[in-house]
Amino acid sequence: MLRRTVLMLTMGFLMSTLTAEAAEPQIGHMVYFQLKDNSPAAKQKLVDACKKYLKDHEGVLYFSAGVLATDFQRDVNDRDWDVALHLVFRNKAAHDKYQEAPTHLRFIEENKDNWKKVRVFDSAITPSEDQK
The pLDDT averaged over each successive group of 10 residues in the chain (132 residues) is 53 50 87 98 98 97 97 90 98 98 98 98 86 58
Find the helix or strand (DSSP H, E) in which 33 lies: strand 26-35
Q: What is the pLDDT of residue 20?
A: 47
Q: Are 87 and 32 in contact (CB under 8 A)?
A: no
Give the domain CATH number at 80: 3.30.70.100
Within a domain: 34: yes
Within a domain: 131: no
Within a domain: 110: yes
Residues 6+ apart with CB under 8 A from 93: 59
Domain housing 43: 25-125
Within a domain: 62: yes
Total tally of structural domains belonging to the chain: 1
pLDDT tens digits for range 67-102: 999 999 899 888 999 999 999 999 999 999 999 999
Within a domain: 9: no
DSSP 60-123: EEEEEEEE--TT---TT---S-SEEEEEEESSHHHHHHHHH-HHHHHHHHHHGGGEEEEEEEEE
Within a domain: 88: yes
Spatial distance between the Cα atoms of 14 and 20, rounded to a whole number of angstroms: 10
